Homo-oligomer: A and B are copies of this chain.
Amino acid sequence: MQQITIASTSTLHGSGYLEYLLDYLSVFFKNADTILFIPYARPGGISHDAYTETVQKAFAKIDKSVTGIHKHSNPVEAVAQAEAIFVGGGNTFVLTNQLYKNNLIDAVQQAVKTGTPYLGTSAGSNICGLTIKNTNDMPIVYPPSFNALALVPFNINPHYLDPLPDSKHMGETRETRIKEFHNFNTNPVVGLREGSWLAVSGKSIKLKGELPARIFEYNKAPYEVAPDTQLNHLK
């Protein structure tokens, strides 16, 4: 039975890395001692090692050890044998490209299907959707496809932002961008605000955290759903 946590962000303003999620994660990862971390989306100039260290420090607080997939000679096997998987944030295009390069799309899908718990934050959540077409990231590399892991039958827009009422910036709002997506695509999009996550357990998909999420369905007005709403009708 699949067990997935799809979190908008790793870090809330003024709080430590993964801090707001740790209580939840100690239950979510209760059957795992070691978590396989996939740092491929790594942001900025830090190394995969440095990124993995940040994750190790956070998970040490709930007594989990963490290994970086870049330390394994066979990444496909590392995924197949993992007790649990965490894909961190950074750039979604870089992450997707690296997953394809390392033949990990099928491997992660298989692992999740057979019950390996999966945590994604930000870019690691984007790839849980059907495609990465609702990422907010800059397309700094060209991946072989925008198709993603399709662990849920819709797309994710993490870091969902409401329009700034007094902005003089003429760029599109997030809502406008997602509406434009629906000129070319029909699948739903879940806009996850900072501090929200989707808790997927088998066929159940529940919104968690304190804020509502904004749902965009094809040919429908966008609407809000409250925490603990069941979202398994979306497809």
Contacts and interface: CB of A to CB of B under 8 A. Distances in A.
A18 to B, nearest CB: 13
A170 B194 contact: yes
Interface in A123-139: 132-139
Contacts of A54: none
Interface stretch (A63-71, A174-182, A196-204): A174-182
A75 interface: no
A20 B145 CA distance: 39
Identical chains bound together, number: 2
A128 to B, nearest CB: 16
Given A43-B180, A141-B184, A170 B136 contact: no
Nearest to A97: B184
B141 A135 contact: no
A169 interface: yes
A44 B13 contact: no
B135 A185 contact: no
Interface residues of A, number: 41
Given A170-B13, A172-B43, A194-B169, A184 B138 contact: no
A60 interface: no
B181 A140 contact: yes
A138 B177 contact: yes
Interface string A136-171: 111111100110000000000001010000001111
A190 to B, nearest CB: 15
Nearest to A179: B44
